[in-house]
Amino acid sequence: MLLIPCPYCGKRDEHEFTYAREGHIARPTNGEQLTDAEWAQYLFMRKNPKGVHYERWMHAKGCRRYFNVARDTVTHEIYAVYEMGQPAPVIERENGR
């Protein structure tokens, strides 16, 4: 079970949150000019890293706000929590997994 620090409410149990998949995916502004392959890239293709993953969570049972989390998919360590719209922080990890 994760203890997720909501940027608004503070540390709460994982069951209060819903996972909202990978973050920082910008919708193309020129949708009508994209090829099917490029559109599919935006719609379906997601990172699946072994290590730091930048993802979104929503505090469903609390303040109902979305926010970004940088989480290690190996250790579940949460490196950073930051508000929507902020740039992804660069995470330096010790063991370089």
Partner 1 sequence: MVETYQRRSALAHLGLVARAASSSTAGAGVIMSEVPHRTIVNVRGTASDVAFSSAVQTATGLALPSAANTVSNGGVWQIVWLGPNEWWITGPDGEAESLIEALRANFAGQHAIACDVSESRAIIALKGAKARDVLMRGVSLDLHPRAFRVGQCAQTGLSRANVLLHLVDDTPTFEIYVLKSFSDYLWQWLEKVAADFNLAVEA
Residues that bind partner 1 (CB under 8 A): 8-10, 12-13, 15-16, 60-65
If DSSP states are collapsed to H, E and C, what string results for 35-58? CHHHHHHHHHCCCCCCCEEEEEEE
User: Least distance from C-beta 75 to partner 1, angstroms?
Assistant: 22
User: Closest CB to partner 1 among 12 and 73?
Assistant: 12
User: Least distance from C-beta 60 to partner 1, angstroms?
Assistant: 8
Q: How far apart are CA 42 and CA 26, in angstroms?
A: 8
User: Least distance from C-beta 71 to partner 1, angstroms?
Assistant: 19
Amino acid at 16: E
User: Closest CB to partner 1 among 45 and 60?
Assistant: 60
User: Least distance from C-beta 17 to partner 1, angstroms?
Assistant: 11
User: Closest CB to partner 1 among 8 and 39?
Assistant: 8
- DSSP percent split of the chain into helix, strand, coil, nearest 5: 15, 35, 50
Q: How far apart are CA 60 and CA 82, in angstroms?
A: 17
